[in-house]
Amino acid sequence: MALDGNTGAARFLPERLTLPELRRAAAHCEGCDLHRDATQTVFGEGPPDARFLIVGEQPGDQEDRKGAPFVGPAGRILDKGLEEAGIDREEVYVTNAVKHFSFTLKGKRRIHQKPTVAEIEACQPWLNAELALLKPEMVVVLGATAARALLGAAFRVTQHRGEVLELGEALAVATIHPSAVLRAPDRDEAYQGFLSDLRLARRSCSS
Ligand code: URA
Ligand code: SF4
């Protein structure tokens, strides 16, 4: 899990911490090796006054090509869940724990590869800065990678999903990743669990 001489994203952070400055700076991040083969940095997106911060794992194939988070199959599950839970996209800032796509090649196909702990840690300064600037009311933590970044190595989504947690000044709810919904043997059951966690996040906000 060596960082190959890279020391993480911290040295790429801009002097002036604003969301537009962060996004600009992140486009040139070389804090780990993932920037080499990926197309582009996929930074978070959403209004600066968003009450909800949604944190996924890392961009997938389509996100890497388009440069925006959650625009592929997992994004469609997320959008559906948010709508059914009554969470307006205008209230939501969506980002990922790791901001470059990680993959292995199988012929011409790019197969998603889970980010390593070293990559999660290298990328953490971007996520920390987004969290500090947005000051969301509620953080929705999607899956194990986001949980590792935000809630620590000992946290288990399967044990603590559907609980209202504290994360600094914010509240947080951890749930399964929408890609796990797509892979589940019983997709409908998995989706209903995901939706009920999103509803809990919605209910736990002030209005
Ligand atoms: N999965 C994620 O975790 N994030 C994305 O942006 C897309 C798929
Ligand atoms: Fe930088 Fe994160 Fe991309 Fe690594 S994954 S190069 S730390 S933005």
By residue count, the chain amounts to: 207
Residue % of the chain over a pLDDT of 90: 94
For ligand 1, is residue 96 a contact (CB within 6 Å)? yes
Rounded to an integer, the average pLDDT of 9-17 is: 96
Range list of β-strands (E), 52-185: 52-56, 92-96, 103-106, 109-112, 138-142, 165-167, 170-175
- Confidence (pLDDT) at 207: 66
pTM (two decimals): 0.95
Each residue of 49-69: pLDDT tens digit?
A: 999 999 999 999 999 999 999
Domains of the chain: 8-204 (3.40.470.10)
Residues in a beta bridge with 3: none
Each residue of 72-111: pLDDT tens digit?
A: 999 999 999 999 999 998 899 999 999 999 999 999 999 9
Ligand 2 site-directed mutation target among 1, 11, 30, 124, most atoms within 8 Å of CB? 30
The mean of the pLDDT values for the chain is 95
Each residue of 18-29: pLDDT tens digit?
A: 999 999 999 999
Report d(CA 28, CA 25) in Å as an integer. 6
- Closest listed ligand to the CA of 43: 2
Each residue of 165-188: pLDDT tens digit?
A: 999 999 999 999 999 999 999 999
Ligand 1 site-directed mutation target among 41, 45, 63, 176, most atoms within 8 Å of CB? 63
Task: Say if CB 115 and CB 99 are below 8 A apart.
Answer: no
Query: If you compute the radius of gyration of the chain from its CA atoms, what whole number of angstroms results?
Result: 16
